[in-house]
Amino acid sequence: MEHINIYKKDNEKMMHVLSSNKNFPLYNIINTINSLSTSAAKKEEYTNLLRSVVSSTTLNPDNRATTEFKTKNATMIFELDGEQKNFDKITLKLGGAYSRYFQKPGFNIKIRGKKDLYGYTQLKLRADCNDPTIMRTKLISDIHNRLGLKSVSSTYAQLYINDEFMGLYTFNDDYKLSWVEKIYGEKNAKNLYKCDKIEDLLPQYYDGCTNENEEEMNDNSEWIDFLTAVENAKSAADLEDIFEIDHFLYEMAIDYLTGSFDHIQYNHNYYMYKQPNGKWIYLSHDFDHDFGQGFSHFLYSSYDYTTEGNHLLELFVTTDSARFEKILGEVVSKVFNPSTLYSHIDEIKEYIKPYVILDKTPDANGNYPGHFNIDSGNKNYSLEQWDAFSEFTNGYSDMISYGLKYWILMKYRFVCNYYQLECDSTYLDKNYEYQVVEELHNADYDTMDYFDYFPIETSTFIETSVSTSIEEPTETFIETETFIETSVITLIEEPTEIFIETSVSTSIEEATETFIETSVITSIEDPTESYSDSFIETQTSSTDVEPTPTEVEYISDDEAFEVEVEEPTSIDDSDSEDEDYVTTSTNEIKTITKTVMMIRSTIIN
């Protein structure tokens, strides 16, 4: 931006400003919205969403999240059931793209020094400020696990930085070379591409994806060969030997059912990895906009609506719809149905509620945990919104927010009828009742066009008043013994707490301690079984990626971890940092991190 004065005309200056941020190209976004073949109302909806994003990224000299923030100067002690794991080389940095400008940004953690935490070396803490329920990321991760798909895992964490309580976060692993090594056993993988700005999977756009292996960044030959094969393919058969097509179709079915628009459909938030078996696989991430968060039109639309303009989608779905629809039916039957998801949502809510209460309780000065980026837009949903929007209440804060259960119910009905699937008549019944919170409910989102498609009367909803009690949370450790015999690498832990202590010598002036309490809730009850069917925190370690449910005996497990991080005596700069947004000069942080983690989960049969 320092070169803006070379432009003499105002419109040229404006063009430069709108195009200056490669991670958030406003000019391209605005052009895309204006070029859409849709109604004025829909364009206004997109514009409002864009406006809410921009309002959250207001720059200010005192805005501490607008500056790149990273330190290598941290150590960590991780404790599990009294047993400690020590890490003397930790990198802590701000994480996320535009979400880093929110009042409560996220963080990335990297374990260096050739150590790992249960096979993982890079982890993400995200506040998921766009999601009033703080459950979308967890639910999508669990859906992947339920279907046996390779994906990142997600749980919850409470975080302290140098004695300052930072609140509740989702705690996730990340698609990095260490993830590939853990899941596939391939060290220093040569072909793991992060796709964040690729217009289409075609060879002319190859540089829209970046190889995570810095040593291989100058050799894109295998990547270009794959894109060329995609371009020349006339049917799925042409790519069967080099691409995990069924896995991709499962991913597209999940995206369609959850209303996701923020992955390959929008040309970012996914990775492409060439597995040891020679086949490329599509890996998606970032799910906080799913289940109708921000957009409405994906609720009552056929899948064809999302394939236009994307060669891979047109090839696999438009050309061979029968294969996709078969997989779509399996996803609906196995996981995307009210019988399965409602009980899982209830279990997650019950478990995280005490920590949500703490997260939404201001201190004596009126400040909320982790909200140090005070000059950005406020995305702090109330406890009442958290409770209501995870059920059937549809509302609005700075964007449309569909109730989780409402979205699931209505999408389930639409898909069952449109694709003629065998579905549970209980949830198709016009007399099915559900409750909404009158003070928060926006009925405009109830009357879309679903009943223009099918002759089914709307379900009855009952308006209730907001009545949310705030109780003092208690910590629960459930101790059980677990024995697993399986080829699946499974993360099964109990409610967990994590503490990270850090002395900060940047614009974050006061020393803070980070306490992360993470919790994995993975239980899902099968309506036809007496035991609890649960989502698995698992990653398969073989190269076979057939997306079928993992056969594991039902087990419940509860364990506890603890992590402490203390100031190291020296900083090792020899390890390469394969992360984005790296700046060490202006924002050097001396970090002491202590983490206690509680995770509770059960295993799916």
Task: Place 309 in a pLDDT band, splitting at 50, 70 and 90.
Answer: low
Within 8 A by CB and 6+ apart from 447, the residues are: none
Q: What is the mean pLDDT of the chain?
A: 71
Predicted confidence (pLDDT) per residue in 80-137, tens digit: 666 778 888 989 888 877 777 788 889 999 999 989 888 889 999 999 988 999 999 9
For the residues of 252-285, what is the DSSP string, one character each?
A: HHHHHHTT--SSGGGT-SEEEEE-TTS-EEEEE-
Predicted confidence (pLDDT) per residue in 199-257, tens digit: 888 899 999 999 999 988 889 999 999 999 999 999 999 999 999 999 999 999 999 99
Round to whole Å and give the CA distance between 106 and 74.
Answer: 17
Round to whole Å and give the CA distance between 591 and 162.
Answer: 8
Helix (H) and strand (E) counts in the chain: 14, 23
Mean pLDDT, residues 479-489: 27
pLDDT at residue number 275: 98
pLDDT at residue number 218: 85
pLDDT at residue number 282: 96
Predicted confidence (pLDDT) per residue in 59-90, tens digit: 444 444 445 788 898 877 776 666 778 888 98
Round to whole Å and give the CA distance between 552 and 538.
Answer: 11
CA dihedral (573, 89, 185, 251) in degrees, to 10, reads -90
Mean pLDDT, residues 423-436: 93
pLDDT at residue number 209: 93
Indicate whether 154 pLDDT > 80: yes
- Judged by average pLDDT, the poorest of 152-156, 219-223, 300-304, 355-359 is 300-304
- Judged by average pLDDT, the poorest of 393-397, 482-486, 499-503 is 482-486
pLDDT at residue number 475: 37
pLDDT at residue number 317: 84
* Highest mean pLDDT of the ranges 45-59, 93-107, 423-437, 568-582: 423-437
Indicate whether 516 pLDDT > 70: no
End-to-end CA distance of the chain: 56
Task: Place 278 in a pLDDT band, splitting at 50, 70 and 90.
Answer: very high
Please check whether residue 56 is in contact with residue 101, taking contact to mean a CB–CB distance below 8 angstroms: yes
Instruction: State the burial class of residue 447 (Cβ atoms within 10 Å of its Cβ: 0-12, 13-18, 19+).
Output: exposed
pLDDT at residue number 74: 83
Task: Place 470 in a pLDDT band, splitting at 50, 70 and 90.
Answer: very low
Percent of the chain with pLDDT over 90: 36
Task: Place 6 in a pLDDT band, splitting at 50, 70 and 90.
Answer: very low
- Higher pLDDT, residue 40 or 407: 407
Indicate whether 331 pLDDT > 90: yes
Mean pLDDT, residues 387-397: 87
Indicate the domain borders of the chain.
4-55, 70-172+473-602, 178-334
Indicate whether 597 pLDDT > 60: no
